[in-house]
Amino acid sequence: MATNRTFTMIKPDAVQNGHIGNILAMITNGGFKIVSLKLTQLTVADAQEFYAVHAARPFYGELVEFMSRGPIVAAILEKDNAVEDFRTLIGATNPAEAAEGTIRKAYATSIGENAVHGSDSDENAAIEGAFHFAGREQF
Ligand code: RTP
Ligand code: MG
């Protein structure tokens, strides 16, 4: 995957609360092109693997339970400087610290249930995109 791509999930809280359309609008209005998109659901094992980097954290069990409890939207996004610019668009992990105009400011309800995921590096963007999408699903 090119380094001008990032990976996102609209998390189960935001899907359940009916925010898919508004969040996708914020993403495209923010200058990101959607190159892969699907509604899917993580199994417990999928969520454990996806967030394995956090396995030693106290919130890991809660995070896995949350991320596997309902449907998510997975997407690969393209833009110059995609990883960093998308982290700016989603805002701080804790919505209480998220800037005005960010997705988490608008739709996150807590530090755990914070509406969206954004990859934290080009390397992880490629790994996470490949976790969810076959090559023929990446446009
Ligand atoms: P993400 O990976 O989902 O984009 O979020 P992030 O980089 O902003 O935050 P990260 O440190 O990678 O944490 C991953 C997700 O774990 C949940 N979390 N809960 N209860 C807590 O203190 C806590 N801290 C983190 C959040 O869902 C966070 O997005
Ligand atoms: Mg993270």
Structural domain that includes position 18? 5-137
What pLDDT, on a 0 to 100 scale, did the predictor assign at position 90? 98
Which residue in this structure is represented by tokens 């110059």?
A: 80
Give me the active site residues, please: 117
Residues annotated as binding site for ATP? 11, 59, 87, 93, 104, 114
**59 three-state secondary structure:** coil
Q: What is the pTM of this model?
A: 0.96
pLDDT tens series, the chain, 139 aa: 446 999 999 999 999 999 999 999 999 999 999 999 999 999 999 999 999 999 999 999 999 999 999 999 999 999 999 999 999 999 999 999 999 999 999 999 999 999 999 999 999 999 999 999 999 999 9
Q: What is the CATH number of the domain that holds 22?
A: 3.30.70.141
C-beta separation of 38 from 19 below 8 A: no
Q: How many residues does the chain have?
A: 139
What pLDDT, on a 0 to 100 scale, did the predictor assign at position 1? 44
CA–centroid distance, 63 to ligand 1, in Å, is: 8
Query: How many domains does the chain divide into?
Result: 1
What pLDDT, on a 0 to 100 scale, did the predictor assign at position 104? 98
CA–centroid distance, 117 to ligand 2, in Å, is: 7
